[in-house]
Amino acid sequence: MLGNGNPQDEAEQETAMEVSHEKELQRCMNPKTIKALVEHDCDLSRLRPITNVFLSNDPRLASRIEHEMAVRGFAATNMCVLGRSEDEPRNSIGATIIHSVEISWIDQMTDTCIEVASDCGAEYDGWYTETD
């Protein structure tokens, strides 16, 4: 049985299942992104800016995302609205964190970003960093 008949409880359970599924998908993508960095001869031990991208119809959400990230132990050094593209009408909000690229830390970071996106009414769209 999914819920107890309370629509709010059922909605919360559904959201939790969606968040869990998104985390699982992102954890499959993280090693592929790291492998691509290695193929470009990136020094993964070097501290580098890692930008997490959130999608939202509300560009003012950046300050709330920054706060929610900080509450969860991730200090974003630069919050900005990256803009919109032809394929994506929503605003892209970037939250940059300075860290080395280690799979366990990246998984923890992306899990947190997915939770923050869910709590803020945004969508997490992944992360990127500079190549050396």
Mean pLDDT of 105-112: 95
DSSP the chain: ---SS-HHHHHHHHHHHHHHHHHHHHHHHHHHHHHHHHHTT--TTS-EEEEEEEEES-TTHHHHHHHHHHHTT---SEEEEEE--SS--SEEEEEEEEE---HHHHHHHHHHHHHHHHHHT-EEEEEEE---
Query: 26-80, pLDDT tens digit by residue?
Result: 999 999 999 999 999 999 999 999 999 999 888 778 889 989 998 998 888 777 7
pTM of this structure? 0.83
Task: State the pLDDT confidence band at 1, using cuts at 50, 70 and 90.
Answer: very low
